[in-house]
Structures are given as C-alpha cells and as structure tokens.
Structure 1
Amino acid sequence: MTRLPNFLYIGPDKAGSSWLHETLIRHPEVYLTPAKDLYYFDRYYDRGTEWYADQFRGATDSQPIVGEICQDYLFHPEASARIAKTLEDPQLMVSLRDPVERAWSSWLYARKHGMWPADFGEALRSVEELLGHSRYATGLDRFTTHHDRDRIHIAVFDDLVADPQAFLDATTDFLGVATMPLTEDDLAAKLPAAKARSLMVANAARRTADWVREHDGARLVGAVKRSRLAHRLLYQPIDKSSVRPDQASVDYIREQLDDEVTRIENVYGVAVRERWGWR
C-alpha cells in the first residue's frame, strides 16, 4: 500500500540537507525518496496527492519513517497549510545556519552555474532569495501556526560541523529510530565548495535538470546529482577559506536579519547569536 510521508526536512538550503539525505537514506528504518527536493508543497502541488504518494512507493513495512527532504518549504507562504492538509501530524525538521554563511554559500553555488550578479553585495540587494531564505523565524512562525512546536526539530548547522554523529543521534532520537554509527565517508561533506569547470556546460546541466524535473523526472535528477563522477566532471573544488564575503556585506546581512535571529532565540529557545558572532 502506498504511504504518504510522516517526516519532512523543510529547510533551509545550504545547511546540511544534502548530507542529511545521503545519510538517512541508508538508515534501515527510514525511507527517503531517491530524489532530494520533490518541491511538491511549493512548485508542484497541482500534481495532486496521488502523484505525491507514488514517490514513496518503495517504502516497506520495516521502515516506520517515510520522508522527504526539501529545502524550500520553510519559505513558501502556503507550504505549511498544504502540509497540514495533506499529511497526518508529520514530524518536521529544520537546520539553521548563520545567515551570513548560508547566503554566501548559496551565492557561491549560484555563481558556479553562472547565475546571479558577480558581486555579492549587489546580489544581496537584487536576489530576494539570498536574504529571504535566512528568515528562519518568519518561516517557523508560519509552521507553528499549523503544526505543534514539539513536532518540529530545530537543529543547528554548527553542530553538524562540530560533531556529525551527535547531530545525527539527535535527529534519529527525534524520529524514534535506532542510532546509526557513521562511517568515515559519512563524516566528509558530500558536495564540497566548487566552481564550474565550464560555466556554459554547468549552466546547461542545471537547465536540463530543471526541464527533467518539470517533466516528472525527479528520480533521474536525484541520481545524477548524487553521482560523485558527475560532480567531478562538472566542477572543481575551491578553498572556501580563500574567498570570504566583504565586511560591508556581512554588516548588511546582520542589519537586515537581526530581528530574525533575536526571535529564534526568544521565541524558539535556540541560542545562536553568540555562536554566530552576532552582537
């Protein structure tokens, strides 16, 4: 019998979602869709519940947790209500990252595909997503309107960096499944910072992936994105420590999002200001 998910990672992007997908997908008690980011509750809601349920047809009775990892749901104005209407009291998860680091990582990802302004400061002012996807409190406010707070696991990306095993243990404990010892491979980042070997080829690959996804090919897109060979062919690693955002951009992000960080602490009880170096 086809099952709908009872677990969703809802966002944000650039905060460990790919690592989480690649790790949990191997847990014997968890079924995740082969393709990360189905985008059902934001982009493809008109495809209907039957289509969505079919994405989880591989789940077995031995897998009590059936889930999806989609990094954009936290920020879509209708996703929370749609999830509440479609799923029966699901467990939800977010992983919060310093908005400066998240925006910088997102910009680097876009630039390796030839997207967005080449100047980070200009991009911050012209690409709404860069700041919008760091408005964590605003997104959580929408979700707590339709979902109980105790059904939302708020993780912090810094904990994944510092101790991946503890980060995973907290997640599996929240899900009520067995702990899963990590291997050395699991402890490494799956998609290191990179730049395109050819902007033209990388951009064409991204556009092709978008087209395939639009034509119900999410599983194929997922398989290619998870391929280390494909990643090596398209991109070459960069040393992130050698390229950093300028101080004016850092100050601008902190000014624009200070209230969001304050509300994460005061409303949601997650102490991040000092950890992120915000004053």
Structure 2
Amino acid sequence: MPLPGRAACLARRGRRRSGRGAPEDAGGVPPPRKGALVNRLPNFLYVGPDKAGSSWLHETLIKHPDVYLTPAKDLYYFDRYYDRGTDWYAAQFRDAGGQEIVGEICQDYLFHPEAAGRIRDTLGTNVRVMVSLRDPVDRAWSSYLYMRKHGIGPDTFSEALRSRPELLEHGRYATGLDRFLEYYPRENVHVALFDDLTKDPQGFLDAVTDFLGVDPLPLSEKEMEARLPAAKARSVRLAHVARRGADWIREHDGARIVGRVKRSPLVHKALYRPIDREAVRPATEDVATVRAALAAEIESLELSLGLRLREAWGW
C-alpha cells in the first residue's frame, strides 16, 4: 500500500532526471561492447497495464510510417527473458528501417520490481514510456474473462480474486509508476486513460503521436473500434491448448510467430465467439473487494497526477 506523503515524492521524482552517474550524452546507457547491436534498440515502450488498450494501440501504431513496432506484442524481455541479453533483444528490432520511433508494447513491465531499472540500464533515460490507466475493477474483470476463455483459473471471480494475486496486483498503478518516475522525468512518461480510448479513439491516438513527436495518424471507421470484442472460447480445451502452445513457442524464441498468428482474424474467429460485454458483469461484492484493496493506491495516483480518477470511474 502507498506510504503517507508518497504522492508528493512521486511528483518530485517525476520532475528530475536520474542519470545515476552515466554519461549525459549517452542518455544513461553504458558504452556498447564491440559488435553489439545498439542501433535497433527502442526509444519507446508501452509498459502496462494489461487489458487497457495495448492490443489496439499495437495494431494501430504499427501502421504508422514513422513508427516501427515489433510484429509480436509483449516480448517480455525486461521481466521474463532478461537473461537472454541485449543482443537478443536488439535482434527483435532488426527489421526497423529509418523510422523515427522504434518501440515495443509489453503490458507487464509496469509491475515487475526490476523492469524499470533494467530498462534504464539498457535503453538510458531518454526513452519515452507510456501507460494507460483503466478502472481497476473493469481491468481485473476483463483479465478474469480472458483467463476463463482459455480455461485458466477458478470458476468464479470471487475465487479468482483470492487465488490469482495478479488480478489485484496489476491494479497497483501508483506503485508501478513510482518505479519508472524514479528514473525518468515526468515529460518522458505519457499517462493515458482507457476511458478516453473508448470515447474518442482518434483523440487518444493523437495524444500518443504528439507525445512521440510524429505526425497524426487518421483512423478509418473500422479502426475507430477501440477494443477487441469480448469473446468466449468455442472450445475451452482447444483454446487452452492454443494458449499453452503459444507460451511454448515464446519460450523457444518464436515471439514473431505468435504475433502473426494472434493478429489473424481467421484464427480468432475459429477459436472464439463474441459475447455481449455488458451482459456479464462482476457481482457487487466483488466490485467492493477490488475497490477496498486498491483505494489507497488510486488515491495516491490521483494526488500525483492531479486527476479525479475515482469520480470518473464511479467509485
């Protein structure tokens, strides 16, 4: 839980650059060893959370002529695969050309205790960082529905809240931002709201491209659909096997393959059928559980960002 006075500390940290003694002209990046692949390292990262528009952002930004994103979202380098080394990570961006922005979208970096420091050590302090905040109740519920459609986790949301700690931990936005603002100035961290994406996708995207310093990207009518439709597995067993297979391929350096398959509308249609997102909602007592667990966290976030999040989210 946030400590008293932490919000003020967050704001102070956000206004200063922490080079930790690294050369200023290198942006805090140690000198590369001979032969290292340094020209492909990203200068933009979406770090989380999950279920807050990251898939839409990836599918949209990847079409921008001045932006290169890896074909696969979620490389998980700075949390799961850091031992593979910088050359492995750089190789994931080998197809980047002369784009001004080279980036990765990974939804878990915000919550890993060492990810922010690893990113600073690898990419320096000039990298642009983005987060998208969603009502933690809706985010946890969406994450639970995603688990269930893959045959993962308990049968009820209340059981999942007790047995799957990530459902609540991934709502601790202030804790995650605290770690990043320790290393990055506030102007290098773009805090977006998922509510803005659902209400005005073009405005949401315009704020992102402005933050990145690239031209606006007009959205087509189809691209204005802000979220993938809620879905249920046609066969839970088949969806579970597909998920396990994707995890195995990632473990064996096949993130690009996973990315291409996941982006296929035919694959998604074969595995899942859409459901009415509003027809299934969490129970009142489960909503209260999430709010009680994260109220102090969100209060700290409101103070540090100057936003009235609980009011906007109907808390």
TM tier relative to shorter chain: over 0.9
The corresponding residue for 1:166 is 203
SS across alignment from 2:310: coil
Number of the residue aligned with 1:68: 104
Q: Does 1:250 align with 2:287?
A: yes
* Equivalent pair of 2:198/2:226 in contact (CA under 8 Å): no
> Aligned to 1:66, what secondary structure does the other structure show?
strand
Within a 5 Å distance, the mapping from 1:1-279 to structure 2 comes to 2-61=39-98, 63-88=99-124, 89-189=126-226, 191-278=228-315
2:120 aligned partner, one-letter code? A
Q: Counterparts of 1:252 and 1:212 in 2: how far apart (Å)?
A: 36
Give the Cα separation in 1 of the matches to 2:69 and 2:269: 25
RMSD: 0.9
Cα displacement string for residues 61-106 of structure 1 (whole angstroms, at most 9, x for unaligned residues): 2x11000000000000000000000003200000000000000000
Shift of 1:277: 0.6
Letter in 2 for 1:139: G
Where 1:5 maps in the other structure, the secondary structure is coil
Residue 190 of structure 1 and its aligned partner are, at CA, apart by 5.4
Give how far 1:19 is off.
0.2
Identity of aligned residues (%): 66
Q: Give distance in 2, aligned partners of 1:219 and 1:25.
A: 14
User: Is the deviation greater in 184-193 or in 91-100?
Assistant: 184-193
How many angstroms does 1:269 deviate by?
2.2
With the length of structure 1 as denominator, give the TM-score of the two structures: 0.98
Quote the offset at 1:189 in angstroms. 4.2
In structure 2, the residue corresponding to 1:146 is in which secondary structure? coil
Asked if 1 retains the 8 angstrom alpha-carbon contact of 2:174 and 2:301, the reply is: yes
Give 1:143's aligned amino acid. Answer: F
Gapped runs of 5+ residues in structure 2? 1-36
Deviation at 1:193, TM superposition (A): 0.4
**CA deviation profile, 1:133-184 (whole Å, cap 9, x unmatched):** 0100010011111221211000000000000000000000000000010001
Q: Give 1:263 deviation, angstroms.
A: 1.0
- Contact conserved, 2:144 with 2:157, CA < 8 A, in 1? yes
> What amino acid is the match of 2:114?
E
- SS of 1:257's partner is helix
* Contact 2:47–2:108 under 8 Å retained in 1: yes
Q: CA deviation at 1:268?
A: 2.2
Paired amino acid for 1:80: A
Larger Cα-atom Rg: 2
